[in-house]
């Protein structure tokens, strides 16, 4: 039976990595609202044209358009393909619609998996990271310094780079946005006993194993 799950987690929690792994290893399909919108606009479908007009006017795309997109994408799947919803639902109304949309395709929501992070630890993880400007080998100020200070272990380069977004203020702002986004839907799914929390701060392999156990259970 194909599983239908919602994957939640703030930027930096490893959501992208885990979703990519489930797509690769479990043959699941990732349905992200942003990707679906872009694809529909590019393909010039009737919904895409509607969405394009709305986005060009600067307004938010309505729930109706988003629901129509989800419906269309679910219809294109084979019954044995599981689905990972990413960035959706964002409101209680969308969460309610999702149940109906899934039911219309003989599916139901099986799990909501949240990659939980400790905010201070996340700030620590993200603000310390840098990489070699030549070969992109990743390093960290506190946990993974080059063996010889200022010299890349792998290629010997003296040049390193940091992403401008990797600062405390940006990380804390993103966390606040994430909490605001999930606040309307997490309690709903908690009440229904669907939420499973995984420690997003654990090593990638452990996070993956924990998710697999939840999905197998």
Rg (C-alpha) for the chain, rounded Å, is 20
DSSP H/E element including 29: strand 29-32
Residue 15 annotated as catalytic? yes
CA distance 23 to 1: 16
Output 75 or 155, the one with its CB closest to Zn ion: 155
Question: Which among 38, 52, 90, 197 is annotated as catalytic?
Answer: 90
CA distance 107 to 83: 10
**In the chain, how long is the greatest CA-to-CA distance?**
60
Output 5 or 132, the one with its CB closest to Zn ion: 132
Residue 21 annotated as catalytic? no
Supply the minimum distance, in Å, between the C-beta of residue 136 and Zn ion: 7
What are residue 139's DSSP bridge partners?
A: 130
Supply the minimum distance, in Å, between the C-beta of residue 14 and Zn ion: 24
- Tokens 């489930």 label which residue? 22
CA distance 87 to 182: 10
- Interstrand relation of 129-132 and 138-140 (parallel, antiparallel or unpaired): antiparallel
Output 20 or 154, the one with its CB closest to Zn ion: 154
Supply the minimum distance, in Å, between the C-beta of residue 17 and Zn ion: 22
Question: Which among 111, 162, 172, 174 is annotated as catalytic?
Answer: 174
Q: Which residues, 123 to 142, sit near Zn ion by CB under 5 A?
A: 132, 134-135, 137
Residue 174 annotated as catalytic? yes
Q: Which of 173, 197, 164 is nearest to 9 (CA)?
A: 197
Supply the minimum distance, in Å, between the C-beta of residue 151 and Zn ion: 9
CA distances from residue 198 to 7, 21, 111, 203 in whole angstroms, order as listed: 11, 16, 12, 11
Residue 52 annotated as catalytic? no
Output 32 or 157, the one with its CB closest to Zn ion: 157
Is 152 a binder of Zn ion (CB under 5 A)?
yes
Q: Which residues, 156 to 175, sit near Zn ion by CB under 5 A?
A: 157
Q: Contacts with Zn ion: how many residues (CB under 5 A)?
A: 8
Interaction site with Zn ion (CB under 5 A): 132, 134-135, 137, 152, 154-155, 157
Residues classed as catalytic = 15, 90, 129, 163, 174
């Amino acid at each position: 039976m194909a599983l239908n799950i919602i994957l939640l987690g703030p930027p930096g929690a490893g959501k992208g990595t885990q979703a990519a792994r489930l797509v690769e290893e479990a043959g699941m399909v990732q349905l992200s609202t942003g990707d679906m919108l872009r694809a529909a606009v590019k393909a010039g479908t009737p919904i895409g044209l509607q969405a394009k007009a709305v986005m060009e006017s600067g307004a938010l795309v309505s729930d109706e358009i988003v629901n129509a997109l989800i419906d269309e994408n679910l219809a294109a799947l084979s019954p044995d393909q599981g689905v990972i919803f990413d960035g959706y639902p964002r409101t209680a109304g969308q969460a309610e619609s999702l149940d109906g949309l899934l039911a219309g395709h003989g599916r139901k929501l099986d799990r909501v998996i949240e990659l939980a992070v400790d905010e201070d630890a996340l700030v620590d993880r993200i603000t310390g990271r840098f990489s070699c400007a030549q070969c992109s080998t990743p390093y960290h100020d506190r946990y993974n310094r080059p063996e010889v200070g200022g010299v890349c272990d792998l290629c010997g380069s003296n040049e390193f780079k940091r992403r401008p977004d990797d600062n405390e203020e940006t990380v804390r702002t993103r966390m606040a946005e994430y909490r605001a986004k999930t606040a309307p839907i997490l309690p709903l799914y908690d009440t229904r006993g669907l939420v499973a929390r995984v420690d997003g701060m654990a090593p990638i392999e452990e996070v993956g194993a924990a998710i697999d156990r939840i999905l197998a259970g």
